[in-house]
C-alpha cells in the first residue's frame, strides 16, 4: 500500500495552528514537498489533524469479557479494539494492562495471555498498539515479571495503582464490592476475604514500589501515578521518578503536578460528559484552570475525539488548542518525539475530519491510509 500522498484542499493543524495548506506524505513521514508519485486525497471542507495518542484505554476489558465470566478470544479482542480505535481517530494506543493480585478477569494468568496475544496480533493491527502496564502496588509477587516485560517491550509505559487501600474499607453491601466480586468470579463475601488477605501484606508495599519505579526509570520507561489525592501523593511519586499524574482525584493533587511542570491526564469521558462518573475531579473545570494537559479514552474509545469538539463548542478551548490534549501533549508526556504534530519529519499519523458533519473521512497511520469513508 502506498505511503506517498498529497492531501489538498483541507485546513491543516500545523505548528503555527489551523490554516489552509497542502500536506505531503512520503515514506511514512510528513514531507516538505510533494512526492514524485503516490496518491491524492481531496480534503476540501475538512480538518487535517494529527492522529490521537491515547495513553490509557481499558475499554478493551469490556470487549474480551462482555459479560462476567464470559471470555472472548484475546486475538479477536485486539482486532475488535483496533477497529474501534481507528474508527475514532486513535492512531497510537496504550491498552491498560492490569497486573493485579486478583483472581478472575485480572488474574496474572490472564495478563500473561494478553501479552502473548498482543504480540501475536501486532503485525495485523492498524493502530500502533502498546501497553500501559497498570501495576497494582499489592501485586507483590509479580514485580519481576513486570520488569521483564518493560525490559523486553521498550514501547510500554508503567502506571502505579493502589486500589486495595480504599477497597479494604468497602462494606459487604457496597456496589463497588459487588462489581469487583463479579469480575473476580467470587461471592462478595469471598471477595472481601481475598481483599483482607492481601491487605495483611501492606508492610511490603513501599519497598516493592520503590524497586519497580527505580528499575523502570533506569530502563528509560515513563512512570505514571494513578488516582493521586493529595500534593503529598505527588511528592512521594516524584521522589520515585514518577513524572506523569494519571487521573488525580482532586484539584489540589492536579495543581501540585502542574506547578511542578508535570503532565496531568484526565478521562475523555469525564470531559465529554462534563463531570466525573465517580465524583472525582471534573475534567472540564480542570481544563478551564489549566490543570489538565492530556485526555485519554479511559473506558470509552470515542471520547477523546468528541470531548475536544465539546470543549470547542462550549467555548472552553478552541479546536487547535483542544486538539493538543489528545495529540501533541500525550505524545510529549511519554517521550514519543516522532508524532503528535504534523511538522515535517514527523510520523504521518493523521485524520481527515469533515468540518460540517465532524465524521472522520480518512485515517492515516505511518503514511498508510487505513480507513476511508465517503
Q: Indicate the pTM of the whole model.
A: 0.95
Measured distance CA(86)–CA(294) in Å, rounded: 19
What average pLDDT does range 30-43 have in this prediction?
Answer: 92
Question: What is the pLDDT, as a whole number, of residue 356?
Answer: 97
Render pLDDT for 176-216 as a digit per residue (tens, 0 to 9). 999 899 889 899 999 999 999 999 999 999 999 999 999 99
Containing H/E element for 182? Answer: helix 175-184
User: Which residues in the chain are classed under CATH 2.30.40.10?
Assistant: 1-51+340-374
* CATH 1.20.140.10 corresponds to the domain 52-339: no
In the numeric block, the cell 472472548 is attached to: 72
Asked whether the predicted pLDDT for residue 131 surpasses 70, the reply is yes
Q: Give the CA-trace dihedral at 3, 9, 14, 18, to 10 degrees.
A: -150
Asked whether the predicted pLDDT for residue 1 surpasses 60, the reply is no
Containing H/E element for 371? Answer: strand 368-372
CATH class held by domain 1-51+340-374: mainly beta
Q: Lowest mean pLDDT of 67-76, 115-124, 134-143, 287-296, name the range.
A: 67-76
Asked whether the predicted pLDDT for residue 69 surpasses 80, the reply is no
Measured distance CA(192)–CA(194) in Å, rounded: 5
- Ramachandran region, residue 35 (left: φ > 0; alpha: ψ -120 to 50; beta: rest): beta
Question: What is the pLDDT, as a whole number, of residue 275?
Answer: 83
Q: Cell triple for residue 214?
A: 527505580
What average pLDDT does range 101-111 have in this prediction?
Answer: 91
Average per-residue pLDDT for the chain = 95
Question: What is the pLDDT, as a whole number, of residue 210?
Answer: 98
User: Which residues in the chain are classed under CATH 3.20.20.140?
Assistant: 52-339
Q: Give the CA-trace dihedral at 297, 298, 302, 304, to 10 degrees.
A: -30
What are the beta bridge partners of residue 160?
135, 225
Q: Cell triple for residue 312?
A: 470547542
What are the beta bridge partners of residue 218?
none
Q: Which residue has the higher pLDDT, 105 or 18?
A: 18
Q: Give the CA-trace dihedral at 344, 357, 2, 370, to 10 degrees.
A: 110
DSSP for 254-274?
A: HHHHHHTT--EEEEHHHHHHT
What average pLDDT does range 335-362 have in this prediction?
Answer: 97
Amino acid at each position: 500500500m502506498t505511503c506517498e500522498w498529497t492531501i489538498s484542499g483541507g485546513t491543516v493543524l500545523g505548528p503555527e495552528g489551523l490554516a489552509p495548506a497542502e500536506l505531503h506524505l512520503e515514506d511514512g513521514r510528513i514531507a516538505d514537498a510533494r512526492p514524485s508519485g503516490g496518491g491524492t486525497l481531496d480534503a476540501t471542507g475538512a480538518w487535517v489533524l494529527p492522529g490521537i495518542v491515547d495513553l490509557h484505554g481499558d475499554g478493551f476489558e469490556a470487549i474480551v469479557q462482555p459479560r462476567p465470566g464470559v471470555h472472548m478470544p484475546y486475538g479477536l479482542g485486539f482486532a475488535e479494539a483496533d477497529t474501534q480505535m481507528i474508527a475514532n481517530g486513535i492512531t497510537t494506543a496504550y491498552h491498560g494492562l492490569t497486573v493485579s493480585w486478583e483472581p478472575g478477569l485480572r488474574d496474572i494468568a490472564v495478563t500473561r495471555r494478553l501479552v502473548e496475544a498482543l504480540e501475536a496480533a501486532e503485525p495485523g493491527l492498524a493502530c500502533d498498539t502498546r501497553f500501559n502496564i497498570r501495576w497494582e502496588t499489592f501485586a507483590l509477587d509479580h514485580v519481576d515479571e513486570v520488569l521483564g516485560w518493560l525490559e523486553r517491550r521498550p514501547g510500554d509505559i508503567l502506571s502505579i495503582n493502589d486500589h486495595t487501600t480504599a477497597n479494604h474499607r468497602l462494606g459487604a453491601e457496597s456496589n463497588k464490592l459487588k462489581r469487583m466480586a463479579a469480575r473476580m468470579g467470587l461471592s462478595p463475601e469471598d471477595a472481601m476475604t481475598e481483599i483482607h488477605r492481601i491487605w495483611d501484606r501492606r508492610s511490603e508495599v513501599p519497598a516493592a514500589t520503590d524497586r519497580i519505579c527505580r528499575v523502570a526509570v533506569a530502563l528509560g520507561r515513563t512512570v505514571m501515578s494513578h488516582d493521586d489525592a493529595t500534593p503529598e501523593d505527588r511528592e512521594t511519586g516524584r521522589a520515585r521518578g514518577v513524572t506523569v499524574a494519571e487521573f488525580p482525584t482532586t484539584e489540589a493533587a492536579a495543581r501540585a503536578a502542574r506547578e511542578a511542570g508535570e503532565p496531568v491526564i484526565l478521562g475523555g469521558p469525564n470531559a465529554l460528559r462534563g463531570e466525573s462518573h465517580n465524583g472525582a475531579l471534573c475534567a472540564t473545570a480542570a481544563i478551564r484552570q489549566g490543570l489538565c494537559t492530556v485526555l485519554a479514552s479511559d473506558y470509552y474509545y470515542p471520547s477523546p475525539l468528541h470531548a475536544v469538539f465539546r470543549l470547542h463548542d462550549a467555548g472552553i478551548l478552541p479546536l487547535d488548542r483542544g486538539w493538543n490534549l489528545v495529540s501533541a501533549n500525550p505524545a510529549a508526556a511519554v517521550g514519543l518525539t516522532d508524532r503528535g504534530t504534523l511538522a515535517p519529519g514527523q510520523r504521518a499519523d493523521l485524520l481527515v475530519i469533515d468540518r460540517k458533519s465532524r465524521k472522520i473521512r480518512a485515517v492515516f497511520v505511518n503514511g498508510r491510509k487505513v480507513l476511508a469513508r465517503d
